[in-house]
Amino acid sequence: MEPFKNLKSKVVPLDIANIDTDQIIPKQFLKLLGKTGYGEYLFFNWRYDKEGIPTKDFALNVPEYQGRQILLTRENFGIGSSREHAVWALKDYGFKVVLGVSFADIFYNNCFKNGVLVIKMDKEIIEDFFSTKTNYVFDIDLSQQQITINSQIYRFEIDPTLKSSLENGTDEISRTLQLEDYIKDYEKQDINRILTVKPNTLL
Amino acid sequence: MLYLPQTLYDKIWDNHVVYSDESSNLSLLYIDRHYVHEVTSPQAFDGLRINNRRVRKPDLTFATVDHNVPTTDRSLPIIDQTSSLQIKTLENNCKEFGIPLFDIHNKYQGIVHVIGPELGLTLPGSTIVCGDSHTSTHGAFGSLAFGIGTSEVEHVLATQCLWMKKSKNFEIVLNGGLNNKNGISSKDVILNIIRKIGTSGGSGSVIEYKGDYVSSLSMEKRMTICNMSIEGGARAGLVGPDDTTFEYLREKIYAPKGELFEQLISDWKNLRSDNGAKYDRTFSIDIDHLAPQVTWGTNPAMTIDVDSVIPSPDDFSKGNDEERKSAVKALEYMDLKPGVPITDISIDRVFIGSCTNARLEDLIEASQVVKGKKVSSHVKAMVVPGSQQVKMTAEKLGLDKIFTEAGFEWREPGCSMCLGMNPDILQAGERCASTSNRNFEGRQGAGGRTHLVSPLMAAAAAIAGKFVDVREWV
Ligand code: SF4
């Protein structure tokens, strides 16, 4: 995974709350077998009309928003289905950061596993971003945990583990496999009796 | 040593911690059962191959095909090439990594959350994951079960563990309801809970459902409640296991038997929240006066009583501007007007199916409403049993005849119109009474309008051609 350190970009404002993953990537695009190629289907049902023509006023189709790498959203982003395709689509489209008030748990985790930084900020700040900051460059510094906009600094909180995995681009599985002795010990102990059930011998 | 009272969740958690990383507050949890299906797994298996890794515990991993299998005649080839490729890919992956697969022709095939319990793979006190958010279903057995993304699927395949931060304990007490069973089902209860706590009300929490009402429910009814915990934003739902749980599991094909089973039961009897255990949040609801619930909008919290009217955005939002905007958008998408009784709304389609409501009891209840009647002439209705076992048992009871004679289609098991990845989809503008769990825009087909209801309500709607208060029917 590519490490994430900082990013300078303007935002794409998507002024809708409670966006579910069915909207981020509709199910007809879940049949691909890889992790790339989903960007063109991001927000498909909102982005194109029935004839497949881009809808004029949808944020992703606004000419001056093209190439921006931060998605600005509101409350409860990423609810619904656990499909990681939602994150692959955001990433493939070019978003490196999603900024909003709150996020669904599974979506939040999925983002960090794919190197996408999710930043939660207070409602008033997000409100202010929507109303006055959509044409400013956001200078995001992960190590300092801050966003600088026009020399004003906004701090954000982030879990230290998630932060370091983003900064180093570490593969979580390798990290876990270094703890394999603990896993083996656990498997040998008697603490979890479910492990004595061997359903597979019956199959 | 002083023993601090623990919740059920605390107990299962403690039992599965392999390693705790103090600095990050993350724990590595051991996973007892990993269920795999065709849609969220191909990229995970690819990841294993690229990194030359194996599946650590193929014997704790079980796969089936459900999300995009056609629900029509299984002897015919699958027309959709991409679906067919995804199914083939899972078969190949299972072969390569030694994972048992209940394939499309297997007599145990079905929706992953229906077959896990009915095969006796889902056990109390275990940890269960699956690349599907409705894994919360299995919490009905007192197992800690939650949905994961594809990266996590890969992580569990490779390590049989998962990094987790402990969630909060959220207690929901369900009171009364013991005499309010006519026409009311556990689907109404969970829809009402979501309506009250909101789609993010359970965020960051594991919900434990308690109270006499839950104890009185069958396993299948408890599963419906736990299934939709995710729609209330919770990571998982739990019900403490009791005799109903143990009896359900007895003699299930892959459940432990004999001495081992009895030993496990005595372990499982301790899987209860201790008196005085601390919850971060408590909420209680009264089932005595609950009416059948119908969703009117585009998220599952947008729900009303069947005997009431479509709310105005102002009534619904109670001063919250974002909620107000969502409601305006939802009404427009659903083509509904505030003030109209929901029982005036006519429907085009009925879908009885999904991991929420396609188990035997659901089909029995629906069939009782349908028996001897005819589906309204302007409605297309279908029943998609949750698994081959459900289908077979239902057919032995003659339910297929009841449904088909009334004009329902009787299909092969799968997720079907719950998410419309197979050919079962709504056309734009069509309105559907559905027993599934999500009413998001386009969930059942682009432009389709979904109203979530119980199987009883869906069956009655099919006959009447519009929503009706099923309490007047049973
Ligand atoms: S029936 Fe619907 S919710 Fe359940 S597993 Fe299938 S797609 Fe997911």
pLDDT at position A201 is 54
Give the closest-approach CA distance of A114 to chain B in angstroms. 8
Dihedral angle over CA of B330, B333, B334, B336, nearest 10: 80
Q: Does B260 touch chain A (CB under 8 A)?
A: yes
Beta bridge partners, B285, equal: B174
Q: Which residues contact A179 (CB under 8 A, 6 or more apart)?
A: B18, B19, B28
Give the closest-approach CA distance of B392 to chain A in angstroms. 20
Q: Which of B444, B319, B418, B345 is nearest to B67 (CA)?
A: B418
Judged against a pLDDT cut of 90, whether residue B399 lies above it is answered with: yes
Contacts of B256 in chain A (CB under 8 A): 197
Count, residues in chain A: 203
Q: Does A168 touch chain B (CB under 8 A)?
A: no
- Rounded to whole angstroms, the Cα distance separating A150 from A136 reads 7
- Rounded to whole angstroms, the Cα distance separating B12 from B9 reads 5
pLDDT at position A38 is 92
Rounded to the nearest integer, the mean pLDDT of chain B is 95
User: What ipTM was estimated for this complex?
Assistant: 0.92
Q: Does B107 touch chain A (CB under 8 A)?
A: no
Contacts of A172 in chain B (CB under 8 A): 151, 155, 163
Judged against a pLDDT cut of 80, whether residue B71 lies above it is answered with: yes
The pTM assigned to this predicted structure is 0.89
| B20 to chain A: closest CA residue | A182
Q: Does A22 touch chain B (CB under 8 A)?
A: yes
- Rounded to whole angstroms, the Cα distance separating B89 from A33 reads 9
- Rounded to whole angstroms, the Cα distance separating B449 from B420 reads 13
CB atoms within 10 A of CB A106: 25
Q: Could you give the 3-state DSSP secondary structure of residue B127? A: strand
Question: For an interface test with A, which of B15, B16, B17, B18 has the most A Cβ atoms less than 10 Å from its Cβ?
Answer: B18
Residue B134 Cα, ligand 1 centroid: separation in angstroms?
7
- Rounded to whole angstroms, the Cα distance separating B161 from B153 reads 10
pLDDT band at B1 (very low <50, low <70, confident <90, very high): low
- Tell the burial category of B372 from Cβ atoms under 10 Å away from its Cβ (0-12, 13-18, 19+): exposed
| A86 to chain B: closest CA residue | B149
- The CA R_g of chain A, rounded to the nearest whole Å, is 20
- Rounded to whole angstroms, the Cα distance separating B138 from B145 reads 6
Dihedral angle over CA of A178, A179, A180, A182, nearest 10: 160
Q: Does B299 touch chain A (CB under 8 A)?
A: yes
Residue B418 Cα, ligand 1 centroid: separation in angstroms?
6
Residue B181 Cα, ligand 1 centroid: separation in angstroms?
26
Judged against a pLDDT cut of 70, whether residue B459 lies above it is answered with: yes
- Rounded to whole angstroms, the Cα distance separating B54 from B56 reads 6
**Stretch B352-380: mean pLDDT, rounded?**
97
Identity of the amino acid at B7: T
Q: What kind and span of H or E run contains B26?
A: strand B26-30
Judged against a pLDDT cut of 90, whether residue A10 lies above it is answered with: yes
Contact A158, A144 (CB under 8 A): no
Contact B187, B436 (CB under 8 A): no
- Kindly list the distances between the CA atom of residue B275 and the CA atoms of B8, B176, B207, B220, B290, in Å, as whole numbers in the listed order: 11, 21, 17, 27, 28
Contact B205, B170 (CB under 8 A): yes
**Stretch B216-231: mean pLDDT, rounded?**
97
Q: Does B131 touch chain A (CB under 8 A)?
A: yes
Q: Could you give the 3-state DSSP secondary structure of residue B80? A: coil
Q: Does B270 touch chain A (CB under 8 A)?
A: no
Which of the pair, A28 or B226, is modelled with greater confidence?
A: B226
For residue range B275-313, list pLDDT tens digits in order.
999 999 999 999 999 999 999 999 999 999 999 999 999
What percentage of chain A reaches a pLDDT higher than 90?
72
Residue A159 Cα, ligand 1 centroid: separation in angstroms?
31
Q: Could you give the 3-state DSSP secondary structure of residue A197? A: coil
For residue range A32-67, list pLDDT tens digits in order.
888 888 999 999 999 999 899 999 999 999 999 999
pLDDT at position B68 is 87
Judged against a pLDDT cut of 70, whether residue B239 lies above it is answered with: yes
pLDDT at position A165 is 86
pLDDT at position B50 is 81
Q: Tokens 């069509």, residue?
A: B430
**Class of CATH domain A6-202:** alpha beta
Q: Does B286 touch chain A (CB under 8 A)?
A: no
Q: Which of A28, A13, A144 is nearest to A70 (CA)?
A: A13
pLDDT at position B422 is 78
pLDDT at position A33 is 82
Contact B323, B301 (CB under 8 A): no
- Rounded to whole angstroms, the Cα distance separating A27 from B443 reads 8
- Rounded to whole angstroms, the Cα distance separating B386 from B392 reads 11
Beta bridge partners, B110, equal: B387
CB atoms within 10 A of CB B75: 6
Q: Where are the domains of chain A?
A: 6-202
Judged against a pLDDT cut of 70, whether residue B95 lies above it is answered with: yes
Which of the pair, B23 or A102, is modelled with greater confidence?
A: A102
Please give the DSSP secondary-structure letter assigned to residue B67: S
Sign of CA dihedral A65, A66, A68, A74: positive
| B130 to chain A: closest CA residue | A82
Instruction: Kindly give the number of the ligand 1 atom that is closest to the alpha carbon of B37.
Output: 5
Q: Does B317 touch chain A (CB under 8 A)?
A: no
Q: List residues near ligand 1 (CB under 6 A).
A: B 66-67, 111-113, 132, 134, 354-355, 415, 418-419, 436-437
pLDDT at position A60 is 96
Q: Tokens 């051991």, residue?
A: B30
Q: Taking a contact as any Cβ pair under 8 Å apart, which residues of chain A between 97 and 126 contact chain B?
A: 102, 104-106, 109-110, 113-114
For residue range B12-58, list pLDDT tens digits in order.
999 999 999 988 789 999 999 999 999 999 999 998 998 889 999 99
**Stretch B231-244: mean pLDDT, rounded?**
97
Count, residues in chain B: 474
Residue nearest to atom 4 of ligand 1 (CA): B355
Residue B258 Cα, ligand 1 centroid: separation in angstroms?
33
Q: What kind and span of H or E run contains B195?
A: helix B186-197
CA atoms within 13 A on the CB side of B178: 7
For residue range B162-203, list pLDDT tens digits in order.
999 999 999 999 999 887 778 999 999 999 999 999 999 999
Contacts of A180 in chain B (CB under 8 A): 159
Q: Tokens 């400013």, residue?
A: A136
Beta strands in B247-375 (DSSP E): 281-286, 293-295, 303-305, 349-352
Minimal Cβ distance to A84: which of B60, B149, B438: B149
- Kindly list the distances between the CA atom of residue B464 and the CA atoms of A189, B102, B221, B276, B468, in Å, as whole numbers in the listed order: 59, 38, 25, 49, 7
Residue B415 Cα, ligand 1 centroid: separation in angstroms?
5
pLDDT band at A203 (very low <50, low <70, confident <90, very high): low
Distance of CA B108 to the CA centre of its chain: 18
